[in-house]
Amino acid sequence: MKKNQQGQGRATLRDVADAAGVSIMTVSNVVNGKTARVSDEIRLLVKEKIKDLKYVPHLRGRGLRLAKDFAIGLVMLHPERRFLNDPFNTEVAAGMSNKLAQNGYGLLIFGAQNSKDLENKLPRISQLDALAVYIFGDTAQRDAVYTKLAALGLPMLLIGDEANDSLADASFVRQTNEEGAFQLAELGLSNGARKILFMRPDHFWPAMAQRELGARKAAAGRADVETMICTEINFQAVVSQVKTRLSANPPDFVMGGNDLFGIAATQAALQLGFSIKKDLMITGFNGFAFREYSMPLLTSMRSPAYEIGEAAAAALLKRITKGSFPGGKVLNVEFLPGDTCA
């Protein structure tokens, strides 16, 4: 193997090819995802040797690429294969793509539903120049993914989370989820709410945990807070679930962890004959374009998702061109008055 500057061996394409007993071209095809003419048996063998030898491609080392040709990745570990249906994801991707394009860089988006899916994409991801990552899961799961991606040796920007001390070359950008939810909860509490139902999805997201924490902090000693876990895949299923809950023991304030849940709660309440604001106050969160079609208009918070994408791109560009990240950035959410809460 070739020696790096520290005198440690770094595996090459030839090392992997020799270990697998195949040609260098075959290894290159597997690394680049060109496996149409590679059998599953050979592909798995090559991937095994790549993992054993800790081989990491270094396109930047070729020296002939210009900065305007550099590619930055957006890695989203998301439980749904249609992860770009989520408006937060599409806004972030749009903000990043446009900001990078203005500076001559391209954006490659990688979606993975689980750790195994992500593992299969690592060879291609490792060829990029930097990464922005948006990961679901509890702290242990997210940290494991961050550690795995950090091992690629690429600068990394965390979206919606904060970089811990173990990540040597990373920064973050997020929004004020806890503060926004606290403000919405205060709005309901000031109008007499004493039983709050907080709706969140069945997959763990840091942003949703922060919103629930904000609601509970505002309600401490003033109101009871119950958490209701809902699917995000089927809107009518959410409406049905909320109708069942409202019929059994109605709260006086429903806080949707996002606008989908807020709108579903509004439809459920209207179908049951509730008077919105008088019998039941409702809020959402995110304030994306589809909220404008809700009737009555949902009271919510605007998430600066597009601006988060821009900020992520700007931070990565600074890291690539200047050699260091700016400090982590926190963007404020914005209150959007509506007709579902006084």
Task: Round to whole Å and give the CA distance between 99 and 197.
Answer: 39
Q: Spell out, as residue ranges, where the chain has pLDDT lower than 70.
A: 1-9, 32-36, 57-69
pLDDT for 94:
97
Task: Round to whole Å and give the CA distance between 139 and 145.
Answer: 10
For the stretch 222-233, pLDDT in tens is: 999 999 999 888
CATH fold of 2-55, please? 434 Repressor (Amino-terminal Domain) (1.10.260)
pLDDT for 27:
86
Nearest to 339 by CA among 285, 289, 286, 278: 278
CATH architecture of 67-175+306-333: 3-Layer(aba) Sandwich (3.40)
Q: Are strands 2-3 and 9-10 parallel, antiparallel or unpaired?
A: antiparallel
229 token code pair:
């876990």
For the stretch 299-324, pLDDT in tens is: 999 999 999 999 999 999 999 888 89
pLDDT for 109:
93
pLDDT for 64:
40
Nearest to 246 by CA among 189, 213, 285, 199: 199
Q: How many CA atoms lie within 13 A of 208 on its CB side?
A: 23
Q: How far apart are the first and last CA of the chain?
A: 69
pLDDT for 59:
47
Residues 177-303: name the CATH superfamily: Response regulator (3.40.50.2300)
**Residue extent(s) of CATH 1.10.260.40 domains in the chain:** 2-55
For the chain, give the percent of residues with pLDDT over 70: 92
pLDDT for 69:
46
Residue carrying structure tokens 């439980």: 79
pLDDT for 57:
66
**Contact partners, residue 58, CB within 8 Å, separation at least 6:** none
**Residue extent(s) of CATH 3.40.50.2300 domains in the chain:** 67-175+306-333, 177-303
pLDDT for 5:
39
Task: Round to whole Å and give the CA distance between 263 and 107.
Answer: 33
pLDDT for 35:
67
User: Which phi and psi (to 5°) does residue 336 adopt?
Assistant: -120, 100
Average pLDDT over the chain reads 89
